[in-house]
Structure 1
Amino acid sequence: MLLLGIDIGTSSVKVSVVDAVTQQTVASAQYPDIESPITALQPGWAEQSPDMWWEQVQQAIHKCNSTKKYNPQDIAAIGIAYQMHGLVLVDKDQNLLRDSIIWCDSRAVELGAQAFDKLGHDYCLSHLLNSPGNFTASKLAWVKQNEPAIYDRIDKIMLPGDYIAMKLTGEITTSISALSEGVFFDFKNNSISKAIIDHYGFSERLFPGVQPVFSNHGGVSASMAQQLGLKTGIPVAYKAGDQPNNALSLNVLSPGEVAATAGTSGVIYGVSDELTYDPQSRVNTFAHVNYTSQQKSLGVLLCINGTGSLYRWTKNLFGSSVSYQQMNEQAIKAPMGSDGLRILPFGNGAERMLNNQQVGVHFHYIDLNLHTPAHIFRAVQEGIACAFRYGVDIMRENGMSPNVIRAGRANLFLSDLFAQTFVNATGIPVELYNNDGSVGAALGAGIGSGVFASPKEAFNDAKPLQLIEPTATAAFEAVYQEWKELLNKQLKTK
């Protein structure tokens, strides 16, 4: 029996086919080979076309099928992971009404701040576990306020993964986890938040039916099955945001366990069984994939908007003639601390961990006679690692103190230098696993379709590839403290 996982990233779509018996990847494919565009019609805005995602999903599945390593007719269930918080709107005929306002878009920050004040900080934090910020609810409020003709035609609102599931099945569903990431869910009343609905003037009819994360979200339609070489009716049995899914794929399911990723954005994601929140809403709490009303499993998420995206930007400007691996090899040649070069890596929208300020990327202390591309490549990795340390300290303030962090050997964690710098900056060992989001989504489909009795069973055989322990925390602490002082000075100018 085979399982298909789809991971809808900001940069590209990846799919994997996994053997349910061995839990091994049979084939994988990514589309496109270059990073997908983000449309920024105004500073701080960020949009992508859901039809672009759908085209990429189809192309990735065809590309995977073309490997001939499996029979697509043997695929028994589909799982979907997706970039979180994006707003997708369709009319009664399931036609798109506009491009998606994606996760790093900052246009709704002020609307979220007004809702936070109007509803009351204590109420929002105790019931929603977050400030409304620039999450999906506030994005929808922006559409209502600024694009009323579009708003009036909305039949259903959804997240990116819901849209792809709809294209596959013709059905639209949501989950408690999805509602919570949009800040639509009231954890105390265990229901869609009436306070948010009433404050923004939304109708509950806009929301799809609520299903468990691990459940049947619809069967693949006959037309889509024929187009993609699949069996008609196989279920989409799992849908989750990319960070809860990354945690699932790393077997991070129990209180105190922590996952990290450094893709387009950088995330630390820890699991808690308490309705906890950060008083400043710098870290955010959502329902984890295994959340139920009886088992309150929560994901505490810290996000840095631009990690891999900064490294891509750096490559385009300073390393266009070399590969990422060659950039990493050059970075190792520069000394720790990059001979004084410091970089603040905050250029991808409002940063929640910095109280929704748009700080931007800043290069400090460039010496035109000393610094080379190698210094820049290393300083970028060190700056990102310092941002992770800053975020981990916020999580520590909120009672989460991990003894180890699990991460997939992917994206920036492919760099030995970055992985070691991350560990030295945070002081926390990292276990690296051979995982990725599309494989996690495939195994999630196995859980949702009953192939596995529980999430733990799906990942019982997962073993770390490598344990990285701190080697130079004292030496790097001086680098971090100087970096932090520069950040604090920059924050005071805002």
Structure 2
Amino acid sequence: MLLLGIDVGTSSIKVSVVDANSQRCVASAFFPETEAEIISHESGWAEQSPDSWWNFARQAIKKAHASKLYNPKDIAAIGIAYQMHGLVLVDKDQQVLRDSIIWCDSRAVPYGDKAFATIGEEKCLSHLLNSPGNFTAAKLAWVKENEPEVYEKIYKLMLPGDFIAMKLTGSISTSVSSLSEGIFWDFKEDALSEDVLTFFDFDRSVIPSIQNVFSEHGRVSQSVADELQLTAGIPVSYKAGDQPNNALSLNVLEPGEVASTAGTSGVIYGVSDQLAYDPLSRVNSFAHVNYTSDNKRIGVLLCINGTGILNRWLKETVGRNESYAALNEAAADIKPGSNGLSILPFGNGAERILNNKIVGAQIHNIDLNKHTPAHIYRAGQEGIAYSFRYGLDIMRENGMTPSVIRAGKANMFLSDVFARAFVNVTNVPVELYDNDGSVGAALGAGIGCGFFSTQKEAFTNMKRLTTIEPSANNDGYEAYYQQWKTILKNVIGGVRLEV
């Protein structure tokens, strides 16, 4: 039995075909070959075309089929992971009404802030576990006020994964996990938030039917099956946001277990059995994939918008499109600390860990006589690692103190410089696995369709590739981090630095 996983990322869409019996990936592919466009009409805005996601997904599936490593007709279920918090709007004919306002878009912050103040900070935090911030509900409020002609045509709102499931099946559904990440869910009442719906004056009819994450979200239509060589009627049996799904792919399901990823954004994601929240909403709490009203499992999410996107910028500008491997090799020739060069990686919109401030990416202490492109590559990767440490300290304030972090050997964790900087500055070992989001989505589909009798059973064959332990003296990274943190505090405080 084969399972198909689709991971709707910001840069591309990746698909994997997994053998359910061995839990091993048979084939994978991604599309497009170059990183997908983020549309930014104004500073702080970020949009993508949902129809482009669907086109990319179809092309990636066809590309995987072209490997001839499996029979597409043996695929029995589909799982979907997706970039979180994006707003997708369709009319009654299931036609997209506007481009999706995606996760790193900052325009809705004032709408979320107003809701936070009016509903009441204590009530928002205790019931929603978050400030409405610039999450999906606040983005819908922005559309309601600024594009009333679009708002009037809305039949359903969706998250990106809901949209791909709709295109596959014609059915529209959501889950408690998805609604919680959009800040539509009241955890105290275990129901849609009346406070949010009332404050923003949303019609509850725009909310799709609510299904369990691991359940049937529709069956593949005949027309889609014909185009993609699939069997009509197979179920989409799992949908989850990329970070809960990444945690699932690493078998992070129980309290105290922690996962990380460093793609376009950077994330540390830990599981709690408490309705926990950060009083300043710098880290966020959502329903994990295995959340139920009787078995509370909350994913505590640290998200840093400006991580891998900085590395991409350095590759394209300073590195003039050298490969990431070449950048990593050059960075490895530079000693820890980058000879005093410091980079703040926050150039991808408002950062929640910085109280929704837009700081921008910045280079500090550059010496034109001694710093080379290799110093910049290393300082960029170290700056990203420092931002993880800054956020992890916030999680520690809120009781999340990991003894080990699991991550897929992918994206920035392919860089030995970044991985060792991350481990040494956080002082937490990292276990690396050969898993990714599309494989996790496929295994989620196996859970949802009943092939695996328990969630843990889907990961019985998961093998650790390596464990990276902190060095004896942390390679001096504590001192380098404190220097970086001082620069950040001065920038946030508005103090001009001589650099």
TM category (shorter chain) comes to: over 0.9
Amino acid at match of 2:476: A
Which residue in the other structure is 1:53 paired with?
A: 53
Question: Residue deviations 1:85-120, cap 9 Å, x none?
Answer: 000000011011000000000000001000000000
1:113-152 Cα offsets, whole Å, 9 max, x none, are 0000000000000000000000000000000000001000
Match of 1:357 in 2: 357
Partner of 1:279: 279
For the residue of structure 1 that corresponds to 2:464, the secondary structure is coil
Within-5 A mapping of 1:33-432 = 33-432=33-432
Partner letter of residue 440 of structure 1?
G
Tell me, in whole angstroms, the C-alpha distance in 1 between the residues paired with 2:349 and 2:322: 28
CA drift of 1:322 comes to 2.0
CA distance, structure 2, for counterparts of residue 22 and residue 399 of structure 1: 37
Q: For 1:432-473, what per-residue CA distance to the aligned partner results, in whole angstroms no more than 9, with x for missing partners?
A: 000100000000000000000111000122121000000142
Which consecutive segments of 4 or more residues in structure 1 shift more than 2 A?
Answer: none
Deviations 1:23-69 (A, max 9, x none): 11110001011100000000000000000000000000000001110
Shift of 1:349: 0.5
Does the residue aligned with 1:318 lie in a helix, a strand or coil?
Answer: coil
Write the distance in 2 (CA, Å) between the matches of 1:311 and 1:475. Answer: 23
Match in the other structure for 1:475: 476
- Of 453-462 and 240-249, deviating more is 453-462
Cα pair 2:336 2:475 within 8 Å, conserved: no
Q: How does 1:22-33 map to 2 (within 5 A)?
A: 22-33=22-33
What amino acid maps onto 2:47 in structure 1? E
SS at match of 1:289: coil
SS at match of 1:465: strand
Deviation at 1:416, TM superposition (A): 1.0
Question: Which digits, 9 at most, give the CA deviation of each residue in 1:381-439, with x for residues without a partner?
Answer: 10000000000100000001000000000000001111111000100000000010000
Superposition deviation, residue 350 in structure 1: 0.5
Give the Cα separation in 2 of the matches to 1:96 and 1:287.
27
Does the Cα contact within 8 Å between 2:40 and 2:46 map onto a contact in 1?
A: yes
Partners in 2 of 1:451 and 1:238 — Cα distance? Answer: 12
Distance of 2:429 and 2:453 partners within structure 1: 31
Counterparts of 2:475 and 2:112, CA distance in 1: 40
Q: Residues of 1 paired with 2:320 and 2:363: CA distance?
A: 19
Could you tell me whether the CA contact under 8 Å between 2:22 and 2:461 is conserved in 1?
A: no
Shift of 1:475: 1.0
User: Aligned AA for 1:487?
Assistant: L
**CA-to-aligned-CA distance 1:198-231 (integer Å, 9 cap, x gap):** 0000011000000000000000000000010000
Aligned-residue sequence identity (percent) comes to: 66
Do the aligned residues in 1 keep the contact of 2:342 with 2:379 (CA within 8 Å)? yes
> Which SS does the other structure have where 1:285 is aligned?
strand
| C-alpha separation in 2, matches of 1:450 and 1:145 | 44
Q: Which moved more, 1:469-478 or 1:27-36?
A: 469-478
Letter in 2 for 1:217: H
Q: Output the CA distance in 2 between the equivalents of 1:71 and 1:379.
A: 46
The residue type paired with residue 420 of structure 1 is R
**Residue 308 (structure 1) shift:** 1.0
1:306 Cα deviation (Å)?
1.6
User: For 1:357, what is the secondary structure of its paired residue?
Assistant: coil
What amino acid sits opposite 2:70 in the alignment?
Y
* CA displacement 1:265-319 (0-9 Å, x = unmatched): 0000000000000000000000000000000001000001021111000011111
SS in 2 for 1:168: helix
Structure 2 CA distance, aligned partners of 1:92 and 1:64? 33
Aligned residue for 2:401, secondary structure, equals coil
Paired amino acid for 1:228 = L
Q: Distance in 2 between matches of 1:422 and 1:449?
A: 37
5+ residue gaps, structure 1, are none
2:281 & 2:474 partners in 1: Cα distance? Answer: 28
Larger CA deviation: 465-474 vs 134-143: 465-474
Change (3 A) 1:143 1:336: same
| Alpha-carbon distance between aligned partners in 2 of 1:347 and 1:417, rounded to the nearest angstrom | 21
What is the CA–CA distance in structure 1 between the aligned matches of 2:461 and 2:61, rounded to whole Å? Answer: 26
How many residues are aligned here? 494
Is the CA contact (8 Å cut-off) linking 2:44 and 2:107 kept in structure 1? yes
CA distance in 1, matches of 2:490, 2:290: 41
Partner of 2:490: 489
| Alignment deviations for residues 186-209 of structure 1 (CA, whole Å, 9 cap, x no partner) | 000000000000000001100000
Amino acid corresponding to residue 106 of structure 2 in structure 1:
S
SS in structure 1 opposite 2:95?
coil
Instruction: Quote how far apart the aligned CAs of 1:321 are.
Output: 4.7
Q: Is the 8 A contact 2:316 2:322 kept in 1?
A: no
Which amino acid in 1 is paired with 2:147? E
Task: Give the distance between the partners of 1:344 and 1:118, measured in 2 at CA.
Answer: 33
